[in-house]
Amino acid sequence: MTRSFCIILFIISGLTCNLYSQTKPPFWDEIETFKKQDSISPPVSNPILFVGSSSIRMWVDLEKIFEEHSVLNRGFGGSVINDVIFYADDVIFQYKPRQVFLYIGENDLPENNITADIIFSRFKSLYELLRAKLPGISIVYISIKPSPVRAQYFATAKQTNYLISSYLKNEKNANFIDVYSLMLTKQGNPRPELFLEDMLHMNDKGYSIWRKAVKPYLIKK
Helix (H, G, I), strand (E, B) or coil at 49: strand
Q: pTM of this prediction?
A: 0.89
| 26 DSSP assignment | T
Contact predicate 153/180, CB 8 Å: no
The Cα–Cα gap between 64 and 72 comes to 10
Write out the chain's pLDDT in tens, 221 residues.
Answer: 555 444 444 444 554 444 444 688 999 999 999 999 999 999 999 999 999 999 999 999 999 999 999 999 999 989 999 999 999 999 999 999 999 999 999 999 999 999 999 999 999 999 999 999 999 999 999 999 999 999 999 999 999 999 999 999 999 999 999 999 999 999 999 999 999 999 999 999 999 999 999 999 999 87
Tell me, what's the pLDDT at 201?
98
